[in-house]
Amino acid sequence: MAPVAVLVPFRRVASGGIRMPMWFTEHEYRVAAAACDRLIPSDPTPGAAEAGVVDYIDTLLGAFTFDPPRIWAGGPASGRAGGAAGFAAFHRLGPLDELAWRTRIEGSKGIPEREFNGPVVGWQERYRAGLAVLGDDFCDLDAEGQDERLRAHEEFVELLYEHCCEGMYGAPEYGGNRDGVGWAGIEFPGDVQPRGWSDDEVSGP
Amino acid sequence: MSYDAVVVGSGPGGATAADVLTRAGWSVLIVDKGRNHLLDPSDLTRPAADYSNDEVKFLNRHFLGPDPLVEPRTFRVGEEEGEHSHVGEVNSIPSTVGGGGTHADGKVPRFREEDFALLSAYGPIEDAAVADWPLSYDDLEPYYAEVERAIGVAGEAGANPLAAWRSGPYPMSPGAPMYGATLSTAAAERLGLHPYPAPTAANSVPYDGRPACNNCGFCAFFGCPIHAKGDPVALLRRVFATGRAELAADTFCSRIVVDGRRAGGVELIGPDGAARTVAARYVVVAAGAVETPRLLLLSGFEHPLIGRHLMVHFQTIAIGTFAQRFHTHRGRAVTHVHDDAVLVDDEARAAARAAGLPWVRGGMVEHGGPSLPIMEAKLYPWGPQHKQLMRSSPMRDRLWALTMQGEDLPQPTNRVDLDPTVRDARGFPVARVTYRPHRHEVAASGHHGPRLVRVLKEMGATWTMVATSPGLPGSRTSPVPISRHVMGTARMGTDPATSVVDPAGRVHGVENVVVADSSVFVTSAGYGPTLTLVALAARAAGAMAGTPLGT
């Protein structure tokens, strides 16, 4: 994608109010969102749905449709505790970084320079296969039916849950944890530079 | 190009050596295979702004390297597991400009006097190469004092009754204690232990042009966004301010070029993949105790002890959950430690006898630990209970831990060598770690684990457990050690038959190759290795440049 992609507002919304996926098909996006919502359901505090965890995963799988790729948010602060919004300016990757992250996300695809230790199955392929196996009717199942499907596909769900946790409690700049709802629900303040904490706040109860 | 010295590795050891050499007027090229996120690339005397309070970036996405996909390592417990039983992340101390100093929470204890003379103090242990160092604590003390000033250490002289003697106070007083540490140290004291503020390379007041730590809580595992951690940013800024040093980041040293008994320089592969040779009068190897022996082996060095005697710290981790919250996300992760478990007292001797050993020794015990919600979340199962667990937070905000960095005995069978099949992305054989704890470590852990639990219970824990890393056979914990402390793979000594380098770090037989990292350690002590390796690097570089302290 062209460098101007960085200028496109991140949370693109189609006319119907539905966010347009960066990498998932619209069907995959719905299945992934429904699955995430079972892994971290809202209880009364917000869960994966309210936090937009599926957008974290979609952004990760589509990281290289952005320039710079959405792999490492910038520093030194996000602006949430003062200072400038440095997280929003993602780092440029070095050649080895790009090789690592393209291989991890896209797989080695028979490209010799990615196969120095043999073929690598990428996350994109694992998600495409994993979501397909959950079934075309996954969104139509009740919660119990969905949980049963998820329990039957442990290996894929392990990957999905890791990314769910990252999208729920990671910095919002990566696409999840919308408006910090993941942190607010667990009394975690998130990033605090440049404000930090006073000595009394550290040492007192 | 030709330099007085090429320094391979920009971590605490390499930065220290470069500091001493550039101040002596030498021209120095610092090479690091990792990227530069530490210093402003347009002005290397200024810190960069790349570090942040970002768990995804630092814990999940390998920002400080090495990325195990392109720079894997391999692991096996022993030869019975074949070529290797694990490929990927093995002791990934950062591969980045600033090295291991960037990610640590900056605890920089000194060793004790007896740590340099373990054989003399306690005697041999079967199947372990227990030995005295070829230098004493007294030899190193001036260097400890010098490097504490250089990197800026906050601590309280006299607070630890078990500490070695010191010639002066710490450069700074300690920073604010974590709330949990105020409770755990009180509990430890009630049990007769001697907790004290951990000597920490994080500024408690503005120091050396860097600000005071503002207690952000993202300390262990994270680069410091405001560069209040002094190690090794302070040293590298000084180095580049001399105008006599250059930095080659993202550059892999694939070979030390040796002709007979002299090294002539190094072969480097730059970020674009292009190879070049750089000539140098001296080569300083400071790539860490895994990558240093790898480089020596890739270069064709043949000493049979290269890579052997690998030591980590055997970690015994006691975890307690509590009714109350500790807000562990505020402060420097670990502000207090106690050293009582390094003593070989009557109880430890009894435990040793029960295990058929002459003695066992534990290590420094850290109070507390970092607070990371993604790491916590992955510990809990998915489903309806997830959010409830995250809110009550038994594994983060209502958790307090005591971690013992146990002395790990040197064994020739624990080693780093070149993996026979696995390559890195540049095409070079990766380091293979073969590691199995000695029964000493297991016995020491078994002895001290319940004593750590006792402190947590005295503090009010409602539930406790003990885990170790590496995990013991039958446990659910990985046999791959999580300790980032690696030591011993180019051990120092006066006898070339039993050591790889001499007491000044010079490789026996190729004396213009100098090792300046924890590879040279003879024994591991029960203390974080950074300050000791930095002091040794300063001493080695001082000997190279003819500028030892006191001249």
- Give the CA count within 13 Å in the CB-facing half-sphere of B531: 32
For residue B249, the chain A residue with the least C-alpha distance is A94
Q: Dihedral through CA A83, CA A87, CA A90, CA A92, nearest 10?
A: 60
Q: Which band of pLDDT confidence, cut at 50, 70 and 90, is reported for residue B551? A: low
Token pair, residue B205, equals: 């007041």
pLDDT digit string, tens, across residues A29-41: 999 999 999 999 9
Token pair, residue B173, equals: 């007083």
Q: Which of A45, A87, A196 sits opposite B391 (nearest CB)?
A: A45
CA distance B412 to chain A (A): 29
CA dist., res. B289 & res. B310, Å (int)? 8
Cβ-Cβ pairs closer than 8 A, A with B, add up to 187
Whole-number pLDDT of residue B512: 98
Q: Which of B49, B182, B373 sits opposite A188 (nearest CB)?
A: B373
Q: Which of A73, A162, A193 sits opposite B216 (nearest CB)?
A: A193
| The pairing of beta strand B510-515 with beta strand B506-507 | antiparallel
CA dist., res. A33 & res. A47, Å (int)? 11
Phi, psi (5° rounding) for residue B418?
-90, 130
Of the candidates B77, B34, B66, B67, the one whose C-alpha atom is nearest the C-alpha of residue B432 is B77
Residues A95, B271: contact at Cβ < 8 Å? yes
CB contact under 8 A, B330 and A201: yes
CA dist., res. B489 & res. B293, Å (int)? 6
CB contact under 8 A, A170 and B55: yes
Phi, psi (5° rounding) for residue B24?
-85, 5
CA distance A49 to chain B (A): 13
Q: Is the pLDDT of residue A5 over 60?
A: no
pLDDT digit string, tens, across residues A115-162: 999 999 999 999 999 999 999 999 999 999 999 999 999 999 999 999
CB contact under 8 A, B384 and A96: no
In whole numbers, what is the pLDDT of chain B averaged over residues? 96
Whole-number pLDDT of residue A18: 52
Q: Is the pLDDT of residue A12 over 80?
A: no
Whole-number pLDDT of residue A120: 97
Token pair, residue A76, equals: 């030194």
For residue A144, the chain B residue with the least C-alpha distance is B383
DSSP state of A87: G
- The mean per-residue pLDDT over the stretch B521-549 comes to 96
- The mean per-residue pLDDT over the stretch B369-390 comes to 95
Token pair, residue A96, equals: 């080895």
CA dist., res. A32 & res. A37, Å (int)? 9
Give residues with Cβ within 8 angstroms of B227, minimum separation 6. B47, B51, B210, B211, B233
CA dist., res. B83 & res. A142, Å (int)? 48
CA B162 to chain centre: 22
Percent of chain B predicted with pLDDT > 90: 95
Residues A139, A30: contact at Cβ < 8 Å? yes
Q: Which band of pLDDT confidence, cut at 50, 70 and 90, is reported for residue B158? A: very high
Place of tokens 């002066």: B168
Cβ contacts (< 8 Å) between B61 and chain A: which residues?
Answer: 71-72
Residues B47, B233: contact at Cβ < 8 Å? yes
CATH superfamily for B2-280+292-545 is FAD/NAD(P)-binding domain (3.50.50.60)
CA distance A15 to chain B (A): 32
pLDDT digit string, tens, across residues B172-181: 999 999 999 9
Classify B385 in phi/psi space as left (phi over 0), alpha (psi -120 to 50) or beta.
alpha
The region of weakest confidence among A17-26, B264-273, B295-304 is: A17-26
Q: Which of A75, A169, A189 sits opposite B49 (nearest CB)?
A: A75
| The pairing of beta strand B86-88 with beta strand B73-76 | antiparallel
Q: Which of B40, B61, B219 is the best mutation test for A, with the most CBs of A within 10 A? A: B61
CB contact under 8 A, A100 and B62: yes
Whole-number pLDDT of residue B55: 98
End-to-end CA distance of chain A: 51
Q: Which of A96, A116, A121, A192 is the best mutation test for B, with the most CBs of B within 10 A? A: A96
**Cα dist from B271 to B274, B290, B410, whole Å:** 7, 22, 36
Whole-number pLDDT of residue B474: 84
How many CB atoms neighbour CB B231 within 10 A?
30
Burial class of residue B259, CB neighbours in 10 A (0-12, 13-18, 19+): exposed
CB contact under 8 A, B178 and A188: no
Q: b/e per residue, A3-35, with b = 16+ CB within 10 A?
A: eeeeeeeeeeeeeeeebebbbbeeebbbbbbbb
For residue A121, the chain B residue with the least C-alpha distance is B69
End-to-end CA distance of chain B: 31
Cα torsion B67, B11, B514, B410: sign: negative
ipTM of the complex: 0.96
Q: Which band of pLDDT confidence, cut at 50, 70 and 90, is reported for residue A2? A: very low
CB contact under 8 A, B51 and A117: no
> Could you please report the per-residue DSSP string of B371-423?
--HHHHHHHSPSSTTHHHHHHH-TTTTTEEEEEEEE-----TTSEEEEEEEEE
Phi, psi (5° rounding) for residue A201?
-70, -30
SS3 category, B432: strand
In whole numbers, what is the pLDDT of chain A averaged over residues? 92
Percent of chain B predicted with pLDDT > 70: 100
CA distance B73 to chain A (A): 12
Of the candidates B41, B18, B13, the one whose C-alpha atom is nearest the C-alpha of residue B29 is B18
> Could you please report the per-residue DSSP string of B86-119?
EEE-SS----BTTGGGTTS--B-PPPPGGGGBHH
| The pairing of beta strand B429-434 with beta strand B73-76 | parallel
Q: Is the pLDDT of residue A7 over 70?
A: no
Residues B524, B407: contact at Cβ < 8 Å? yes
pLDDT digit string, tens, across residues B490-526: 999 999 999 999 999 999 999 999 999 999 999 999 9
CA dist., res. B113 & res. B528, Å (int)? 15
Cβ contacts (< 8 Å) between A164 and chain B: which residues?
Answer: 382
Q: Is the pLDDT of residue B417 over 70?
A: yes
Give this prediction's pTM: 0.96
- Helix (H) or strand (E) segment spanning residue A182: helix A181-184
Write down the domain spans for chain B. Answer: 2-280+292-545
Residues B79, B493: contact at Cβ < 8 Å? no
Whole-number pLDDT of residue B548: 83
β partners of residue B267: B255, B277
CB contact under 8 A, B378 and A71: no
Phi, psi (5° rounding) for residue B197?
-65, 125
- Helix (H) or strand (E) segment spanning residue B185: helix B179-190
pLDDT digit string, tens, across residues B421-473: 999 999 999 999 999 999 999 999 999 999 999 999 999 999 999 999 999 88
Helices and strands (DSSP H and E) totals, chain B:
12, 20
